[in-house]
Amino acid sequence: MQRAVTLYSTSVASHTCTVSSLCCLLIALCMYSSGFTQSTVRDSTLTTSDTTVIVRLNCFPDNYTFPYNKKRVRLIAAANVFGYSAAMVGLYSAWYKDYPQSNFHAFNDFPEWQQIDKIGHAYSAYAESKASMELWRWTGIDRKKKIWIGGLSGAFYQTVIEVLDGFSSEWGWSWGDIGANFIGSGMVVAQELAWDEQRIQFKWSFHRKRYNDPELNKRSDKIFGSSSPERFLKDYNGQTYWLSVNLHSFIPQSSLPRWLNIAVGTGAEGMFGATENIGKDKNGSIEFYRPDIKRYRQWYLAPDIDLTKIKTNKKGIKMALMILNIVKFPAPALVLGNGKLKVEWIGF
C-alpha cells in the first residue's frame, strides 16, 4: 500500500476520537444542564438568624460546584470504563483487525503533514479532557480530583489508540503523538488549576479545498476521501487550529466585551502526501508526481467570540453555546503564508 496513504490512516483513527469527544461533550452538557435545572434555575431563599435574603440565580456560573452525589460518581465511572471500552473494541474491529499486526514498535512520524496531525492530536485530547472534566464536575467530586481525573482523560483515551498503532505493522507508536496528547490535556489541567476556567480555548475550523487542477482534485479524493464528511476528518489542507484568548479574563478592569476573543491559528497548504507530493501504487510505480507544488505552513490572526460568555437563562441555549465553543467561526483574518501577508474577509 502506498506509504502516504497508509500513514494517513493513523490520523483517521485519531480523528475518530475527535468525533467521539464531541459526542462525549454533548452527553456531558446534557447531564450538566440536568444538574443545572435541579440546582440553579429557581429562586433560592437563604435564611439567616437576622434576615431572609432572596437570591435570584440568573445564570449558571462557569465554575459552579455541584453537591457531591455518589450515584453520579458511579454512573460517570461506569460510562467512562464501559463506554470507552466498547468504542475501542468497535474501532479495532472496524479498522485495525483488517491490517497486518506485528510486535510492538515505535515509528517517527513527526516530519509528516507539516505537523498538522500533531496539532490535531492535541486538539482531540483537549476536547475530550474538557468534556470529561464537565462530566466529573456534575458528580460533585473534589475540585482537584475533577481537574486531574477529567483533565487527563483525553491523553489516556488517545494513548490507547497509540498502543493499537504500536502493534500495527504499517504504523507504530508515535512519541510525537503522545507528546501532543499530553499538551492538549495539559492545557485543560493547567488553566483549571490556575484560573478555574478556560481562558485560552483550543478551537478548530475547516473549509473544503477545491482546485482548478483536476489532477489535484483526483489525488485529494484518493487520499482524503471524496465525500464532505471524509474530507472534514482527513484533509489537513482544509483544517485550521486556533488558540482563542478571552481578553476580558486577562484584563478584568477593562471595558472590553466579556465575549470578545483574539485568536491565533495555524494550518498548511499544498500537502498531497505525508512528506512529499509523490504517490505510488501498490506495485511501487509512481502514479502522482507533483514536487512543483510548494508545501508550506500558514498563520492566522482573527477576532473570535467566546460563546460561553454570552449570558442566557435558557439552559438549552447555554448547552448549545458550550458545545459550539470548540469551533472557530469564520471572521476576517490576517494570513501569513508562503512569504506573503494578506487579508481574508472570510477566514477559516
DSSP per-residue string spanning 116-162: HHHHHHHHHHHHHHHHHHHHHHHHT--HHHIIIIIHTHHHHHHHHHH
Note the pLDDT of residue 182: 97
Q: Quick check: 235 and 12 in contact, CB under 8 A?
A: no
- Other CB atoms within a 10 A radius of the CB of residue 334 amount to 13
Q: Quick check: 323 and 311 in contact, CB under 8 A?
A: no
User: Which one, of 168, 122, 129, 127, lies nearest residue 146 by Cα?
Assistant: 129
217: amino acid identity, one letter? N
Nearest-angstrom CA–CA distance, 163 and 177: 11
Name the residue with cell 449570558.
Answer: 311
Query: Where do the structural domains in the chain lie, given as residue ranges?
Result: 3-347
Sign of CA dihedral 314, 318, 321, 323: negative
89: amino acid identity, one letter? V
pLDDT in tens, the chain (348 residues): 333 333 444 444 444 444 445 455 544 444 444 444 333 333 333 333 333 333 333 334 455 677 888 888 888 888 888 888 888 887 777 677 778 889 999 999 999 999 999 999 999 999 999 989 988 888 888 899 999 999 999 999 999 889 989 998 888 999 999 999 999 999 999 999 999 999 999 999 999 999 999 999 999 999 998 888 889 888 999 999 999 999 999 999 999 999 999 999 999 999 999 999 999 988 889 999 999 999 999 999 999 999 999 988 887 788 788 888 999 999 999 999 999 999 999 877
Compute, in degrees rounded to 10, the torsion defined by CA atoms 207, 211, 214, 218. Answer: -30
